[in-house]
């Protein structure tokens, strides 16, 4: 039980580190840049597509890690 608590605390600490206030500053800068453009609707659509393209490999790798971990623990 103590090991599981330690793992939970470590995971919580990592999440807090990833979602700190400085990380969100970049989002505001991008939003301002896109919003001030003359053709902001077109740029916004391409920008959102770019975010999804960058996010896709991360989600695939995370899913693979979770699958391997699950198989290792229950296999």
pLDDT attached to residue 20: 64
Angstrom distance (rounded) from CA 49 to CA 20: 24
Sign of CA dihedral 45, 46, 49, 55: negative
Buried-exposed string 37-56: b where 16+ CB fall within 10 A, e elsewhere? eeeeeeeeeeeeeeeeeeee
pLDDT attached to residue 18: 66
In this structure, are 31 and 48 located in the same domain? no
In this structure, are 74 and 44 located in the same domain? yes
In this structure, are 75 and 43 located in the same domain? yes
Contact 40, 34 (CB under 8 A): yes
Range of the domain at 13: 1-36
Angstrom distance (rounded) from CA 69 to CA 30: 36
pLDDT attached to residue 23: 59
Residue pLDDT tens, the chain, 75 long: 566 777 777 777 777 666 665 556 667 777 788 888 888 888 888 888 888 898 899 889 989 999 898 888 886
pLDDT attached to residue 11: 77
pLDDT attached to residue 61: 92
User: How many domains does the chain fold into?
Assistant: 2
């Amino acid at each position: 039980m103590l090991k599981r608590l330690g793992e939970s605390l470590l995971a919580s600490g990592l999440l807090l580190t990833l979602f700190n206030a400085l990380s969100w500053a970049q989002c505001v800068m991008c939003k301002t840049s896109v919003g001030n453009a003359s053709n902001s609707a077109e740029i916004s659509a391409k920008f959102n597509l770019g975010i999804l393209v960058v996010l896709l490999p991360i989600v695939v790798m995370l899913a693979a890690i979770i699958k391997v971990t699950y198989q290792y623990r229950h296999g």
